Amino acid sequence: MVDFFENLKNKIVETQVWKSIFRHGFPDTDTNRALVMFSNVLLHLHPVKVRKSALRIRYTWCLGGLTFFMFILLTITGVFLMFYYVPDTRSAYQNIKDLQYALYFGNLMRNLHRWGAHAMVFLVWLHMTRVFLTGSYKPPREFNWIVGVLLLVLTLLLSWTGYLLPWDQLALWAVTVGSKMAEASPLIGYSGPFGKEMGMRVDNDIRFMLLGGTVVGQSTLLRFYVLHCVGLPLLATLFLAVHFWRIRKDGFSGPL
Amino acid sequence: MAIEVKHEIFPKNPKKSYGLVELVKGTSPITDKEPETTVFTWPNLVFIELIAILLSSIILIALSLYSGAPLEEMASPDTTPNPMKAPWYFLGLQELLVFFDPWLAGVVLPGLIIVGLILVPYIDVNPKGVGQYNYTDRKFAIWTFSFGLALWYIMIVVGVYLRGLDWQWYWPWDDWELHKPPSAVSLIDYSLILTSWGLSKGGAQIVAYATVVGYFVVGMTIPFIFFRKFYKELGFARYNITMLFFLMMMGVPVKIILRIVFNIKYLLVTPFFKI
Amino acid sequence: MSNEEKNKTNKSGEMNRRKFFNLIGWGGLLASAGGSAIGTYKFMFPTVLYEPPTIFKIGKVTDFSMGVDERLKKERQIWVVRNERGLYVLVAICRHLGCTPNWFPDQQRFRCPCHGSIYDIFGNVRGGPAPRTLWRAGVSLDVVDNQVVVNFLTRQDPDPESTVNGLMVEEAPREAEPYFIKNA
């Protein structure tokens, strides 16, 4: 019986189809361990070899990697949630209720998305703290620190645009308050310092652009939906790519 | 004759130079790395990542099964819930809004935090402490960062656990259903306190300006005079940027304390903005 | 002109030509990029709004009783206030962070549930973190049917003065057109 499966496995591995997909054997030899890393597009984020010191859990606490994992998890659960959600002020709240009470595993999907988002924010902060405490922003990694700060801002913006979507009281008032802050921006906000001197009105300032109107309403919901599901994730992906690329180029910080 | 030919596999060429090479058994072709400090990513790193992903997934799924994501009543523009709390990660910001005007707390201070963070690698010239948890060689950097971080987390804790109806201060043992009366003393401006001490209106304004400007001037000067080494290490431009951000960060708790202890609403009133 | 000099001028002439085209090329590229940026920026400002009207009639002056009228708060986000001298309209948006304050007739105060800002009947700040007084919307009388027309987007926003009682604005200058309808 064991022989049968062994033969079957060997047969499959020998086929042209298998060989066209996997260009390496099982990674239990040095050659294959190297090959698996640079012939697999998903794994080639990693270098073939890493310094032993970079692997210590109590040095990195896996924080950056877990943040990235949360991003992937949120992308996947977010895509699933999109199947049942319409960004319409009349139906959005009902859609969330359907997810919670009617759909199979709808509540689990929504909970995963919400708690995953909270976890991502927290992990980003912890990751930044770790990077600061280990001095990993120092030359030659200054630029990657900047990219990291921008990713932190993007994470917070994603959270902010995200919790408008259920169209509950928190959504409405948090965005009312948030957009009121935008209105108070110096120069570009209607009620901010020098705003009126710059010719800002209720219907042409930064808040108006953000909300797509003078009140938090249908156009705001659509705007935030597009930003949350398309605009900001694309931007975040771009910055993540740069972030990882710089880690590969500048090397992993750590004691020699 | 034939035997001699057999021995000469590589006839020696007088035009070439030869070196002695040895073949050894090993795990990698890397040279000049003694002793070997690297290991293969597969399986050493990949499996750590896999375990981390599995553990975090288990925690997250358990949390999602155990506790539902919050959903409040449907949005209605004519009733504001009381108190209206943002998710915890924005509550630090919301707490700042109690002590500063919206343009400052909502726009300028967060902007300064972001710009300040971006500037960190360019104003910290200390080359020590890369890749290790090192406190002794970077006392100033660690203290400053930790102070800012602590401020942020304290504000979050206050916002989450100590703010109740009408955004009043509620201890955990207070009755959170009961409205607290608005504070008996009203908030007044710093310049009004000065006029109550007998200063003229214009004089009070001048003193108010002098206080704010003086805070920065004195703050910039003290390290310049007493910590010459600190100044010399940073240089003129870096020193000024570092100290400006440092003083602005310190200004936040200073203003909060002034508000709580002396009920001061604004320190400085200009025709355009108030601080 | 010697041959050498001729070569030199030709060469620098060539360089000028190159510089010229460089300028045209980069200038054109930057100009079109800038133009696209401005266009995209303008694109984000909607010109058609599907919102409640911002200019609307609310009835005749005599339809409102003395003091604060709350009937239009839900529908139009305004309070209509009448006194002996005339009528003005307060915008029901807290100047701190945009929550909707509540009117307490017994205390004669508007109080915001979000951060505890307190306003009096004139919109002056009597407590809490609000930085400005309540907005007053533009009002006028329709010449045909004599109804009050409110312009929600035209807002009176004077710079208040700090006093021991709060942020105050002198009332007399506020009660002028187009933010006030005097009794006939």
Measured N-to-C along each axis, helices B139-161 and B91-99 cross at an angle, to the nearest 10 degrees, of 90
Residue C1 to residue C147: CA distance in whole angstroms: 89
Residue A252 to residue A246: CA distance in whole angstroms: 10
Would residue A254 be called left, alpha or beta, if left means φ above 0 and alpha means ψ between -120 and 50 degrees?
Answer: left
Predicted local confidence at residue C12, as pLDDT: 55
Nearest residue to B62 (alpha-carbon basis) of A111, A122, A100: A111
Task: Provide CB contacts within 8 A for A144, sequence distance 6+.
Answer: A137, A243, A246, A247, A250
CA distance C183 to chain A (A): 30
Q: Tell me how many residue pairs between chain A and chain B have CB atoms under 8 A apart.
A: 232
Predicted local confidence at residue B217, as pLDDT: 94
Name residue, tokens 């070196």: B19
pLDDT at B3 over 60: no
Predicted local confidence at residue B76, as pLDDT: 85
pLDDT tens digits for range B118-129 = 999 999 998 888
Residue B1 pLDDT class (50, 70, 90 cuts): very low
Roughly how many angstroms between the first and final C-alpha of chain A, as a whole number? 50
For residue A125 the two structure tokens come to 């902060």
Contact A147, B72 (CB under 8 A): no
Predicted local confidence at residue C80, as pLDDT: 93
Predicted local confidence at residue A190, as pLDDT: 86
The residue-averaged pLDDT of A221-248 equals 96
pLDDT at B186 over 80: no
Give the residue numbers spanning the domain of B170.
Answer: 88-262
Test A212 with C46 for CB contact under 8 angstroms: yes
Measured N-to-C along each axis, helices B236-262 and B109-123 cross at an angle, to the nearest 10 degrees, of 150
Choose between A256 and A91: higher pLDDT.
A91
Residues in C touching B266 (Cβ below 8 Å): 162
Task: Provide CB contacts within 8 A for B104, sequence distance 6+.
Answer: B273, B275
Predicted local confidence at residue B81, as pLDDT: 84
CA distance C77 to chain B (A): 8
Contact with chain B for residue A135, Cβ under 8 A: yes
Burial class (CB in 10 A: 0-12, 13-18, 19+), B212: middle
pLDDT at B256 over 60: yes
Interface test with A, best of B45, B143, B146, B266 (most A CBs within 10 A): B45
Interface test with C, best of A170, A191, A197 (most C CBs within 10 A): A191
Residue C74 to residue C84: CA distance in whole angstroms: 26
Please check whether the domain covering C55-182 is classified as CATH 3.90.79.10: no
Q: Which chain C residue has its CA at the smallest distance from B104's CA?
A: C131
As a whole number, the mean pLDDT across chain B is 86
Residue of C49, C98, C157 lying closest to A180 (CB–CB): C98
Choose between A22 and C128: higher pLDDT.
A22
Residue A224 to residue C58: CA distance in whole angstroms: 33
Interface test with B, best of C115, C117, C124 (most B CBs within 10 A): C115
Predicted local confidence at residue C51, as pLDDT: 84
pLDDT tens digits for range B61-103 = 999 999 988 898 998 887 788 788 888 999 998 888 888 888 8
pLDDT at A31 over 50: yes
Share of chain B above pLDDT 70, in %: 90
Residue of A69, A145, A253 lying closest to B53 (CB–CB): A69
For residue A41 the two structure tokens come to 């597009």
Report the predicted TM-score, pTM, of the whole model to 2 decimal places: 0.88
Share of chain B above pLDDT 90, in %: 44
Q: How do the domains of chain A map onto residue ranges?
A: 1-49, 57-250
On whether residue B146 sits in a domain, the answer given is yes
The residue-averaged pLDDT of B232-240 equals 92
Residue B114: count of CB within 10 angstroms of its CB: 15
Q: Which run of H or E residues covers position A182?
A: helix A169-183
Least confident of A97-106, A115-124, A144-153, C117-126: C117-126
DSSP A44: G
pLDDT tens digits for range B15-27 = 877 777 777 776 6
ipTM of the complex: 0.91
Residues in A touching C45 (Cβ below 8 Å): 204, 208-209
Contacting subunits of C (3+ beta carbon pairs below 8 A): A, B
Residues in C touching B78 (Cβ below 8 Å): 73-74, 77, 100
Residue B101 to residue B259: CA distance in whole angstroms: 13
Residue B5 pLDDT class (50, 70, 90 cuts): low
pLDDT at C8 over 60: no
pLDDT tens digits for range A182-206 = 888 899 988 888 888 888 888 888 9
Share of chain C above pLDDT 70, in %: 91
CA distance C162 to chain B (A): 7
Residue B257 pLDDT class (50, 70, 90 cuts): very high
The residue-averaged pLDDT of B154-183 equals 85
Residue B271 pLDDT class (50, 70, 90 cuts): confident
- Tell me which fold the domain A57-250 belongs to: Cytochrome Bc1 Complex; Chain C (1.20.810)
Coil/strand/helix, residue B141: helix
As a whole number, the mean pLDDT across chain C is 86
pLDDT tens digits for range C129-179 = 888 899 999 999 999 988 999 998 888 888 888 888 888 888 888 888 889
pLDDT at C62 over 50: yes
pLDDT at A40 over 80: yes
The residue-averaged pLDDT of B145-156 equals 95
The C-alpha angle C110, C114, C118, rounded to 5 degrees, equals 25
Predicted local confidence at residue A256, as pLDDT: 46
Least confident of A156-160, C27-31, C94-98: C94-98
Contact with chain B for residue A51, Cβ under 8 A: yes
